Structure 1
Amino acid sequence: MQFRRQSSEPVQVNMTPLIDVVFLLLIFFMVTTSFPDQQLNLQLPTASSSEPRETQRDSIFNLALFADGRIQLDDQEISDADALKEYLQTLLEEHTDPAILIRAEQEAPHQRLVMALDIARQLGIQQLRIATRPPH
């Protein structure tokens, strides 16, 4: 007696449910992810005549002077005065009238603030502000 061999169907994996699950996981992670706020945590000095900041301009740059002597210009770490001058020079080439908001900590060396103001004046930057916080 001769038995006929049954033809076996090729094994297939249905990818549709897997794609659905991966897509739902992707949406879940995109919705639940929170991005850290990248504001600087500086202890600004107080001033009784401080005013709230005006509307945001598109070419305003934050120069942070830390108590330990570090300098940071818009998330870019600056090593010394020459590097700050070069960086501000490139900003002047890209933007016609940049504004700089200087945020110096209370304990920041006074020389760093004077140096930043001096470099800005040498380059002809007119829009300079020093950030303070109102008294409590």
Structure 2
Amino acid sequence: MLTDSGFGRKKKKEEADLDITPMIDVVFLLLIFFMVTSTMQATPDRDIPPATSGTNANASGFFDIVVLAPVSAGSEAEVKIDDSLVSLEQLRAELIQKSAGPPLKVMIYAERDVPSGTVSEVEGIIGEVASEQEIEIEMKFAVRDRK
């Protein structure tokens, strides 16, 4: 009598399961390692080409307003006229006083780091003075690097 001893019968090959969980863990660890140890480099300064569509304005004869960037993250930008800091109300009073003479030409210099909203505030004050005094004010804008 023959017993079932496994002779003559083929054993099923076990299917190999590939567990990729450890490999994913290693990949994420490497990713985190390289992100933490890499150094972030700022983009290098680029030479900005001169404007081709604007007009070249002679800066003489313009009333200069300099808008300085905030010195710290929470502070406000500062406005300078004739090397003295002024508030926006003092700026308004100075513009009204200057508007009594010949047609007013204003050059707004802003540092590169000045938020655009601050320049818009200064521009808005100039526009309000022009409408209140019923005069036309010529405005030019320029970027000034911090000295």
Indicate the TM-score class for this superposition, using the shorter chain for normalisation: 0.5 to 0.7
Q: Distance in 2 between matches of 1:56 and 1:132?
A: 13
Unpaired runs of at least 5, structure 2: 1-47, 71-76, 131-135
Structure 1 residue 92: Cα displacement: 0.9
Structure 1 residue 53: Cα displacement: 4.0
Q: Distance in 2 between matches of 1:88 and 1:111?
A: 20
Does residue 117 (structure 1) correspond to residue 123 (structure 2)? The answer is: yes
Unpaired runs of at least 5, structure 1: 1-45
2:81 alignment counterpart:
73
State the AA in 2 paired with 1:87. Answer: E
SS in 1 for 2:126: helix
1:33-71 CA-partner distances (Å, limit 9, x unpaired): xxxxxxxxxxxxx5752667433543x111100112111
Instruction: Note closer, same or farther for the CA distance 1:72–1:47 as it changes in structure 2 (3 Å cut).
Output: farther
Asked if 2 retains the 8 angstrom alpha-carbon contact of 1:66 and 1:105, the reply is yes
Length-normalised TM-score, structure 2: 0.49
Asked if 1 retains the 8 angstrom alpha-carbon contact of 2:79 and 2:88, the reply is no
2:139 alignment counterpart:
128
Find the structure with the greater CA-based Rg: 2
1:16 alignment counterpart:
none
Instruction: Note closer, same or farther for the CA distance 1:66–1:84 as it changes in structure 2 (3 Å cut).
Output: same
